[in-house]
Amino acid sequence: MSIETLQPPEWPRPKGYANGMSARGRMIFISGQVGWDDHGQFNSDNLTEQVKQALANIVRVLKEGRAEPTHLVRMTWYVLSRQAYLHQVREIGAVYREVLGKHFPAMSVVEVSGLIEPRALVEIEATAVVPDEAHGDLATP
């Protein structure tokens, strides 16, 4: 397999993320996705619902790149409120698994003072690697 989770055996097993990933293949870089729909409209001011939409947006970009959530190797989440994130972490975990399944790449969550979109409560960047054998010759995207 061209994507491997890196877990030092003496470390405690992380919950909801990987300590590291190793991958070989075609790389896809996804810019920060916020919780708006395909018309650029926010349908909720709830953090969990915005996370669900941002993750769905990531899946849509992956699909455009002929990739799947299992190809994700790194995600960086920017949240406006660490407290809100921790308060809703169970709900966020449930929508994460609903949208992306039980694939947990290397992740970081960073609290920020603001995002460019005024209604955005979260923005998520992602990197995926599609193994070469997954789609044959990838010299031409």
Please provide residue 61's backbone torsions phi and psi, each rounded to the nearest 5 degrees: -65, -40
Can you give the CATH number for the domain in which 87 is found?
Answer: 3.30.1330.40
Q: Could you tell me which residue, 33 or 141, shows the higher pLDDT?
A: 33
Q: List the domain range (segments joined by +) for residue 111.
A: 3-133
Is 51 inside any structural domain? yes
Residues 6 or more apart whose CB falls under 8 angstroms from that of 67 comprise: 28, 128, 130
- Give the pLDDT score at 20: 93
pLDDT tier at 3 (50, 70, 90 boundaries)? confident
Residue 141 within a domain: no
Write the pLDDT tens digit of every residue in 64-82.
999 999 999 999 999 999 9
Residues near 48 by beta carbon (within 8 Å), at least 6 away in sequence: 88, 91, 92, 95
pLDDT at 14 over 50: yes
14 assigned to some structural domain: yes
Per-residue pLDDT of 72-120, as tens digits, reads 999 999 999 999 999 999 999 999 999 999 999 999 999 999 999 999 9
pTM of the predicted protein model: 0.89
What is the number of domains present in the chain? Answer: 1
List the end-to-end C-alpha distance of the chain, in Å, as a whole number: 21
Average pLDDT, stretch 46-65?
98
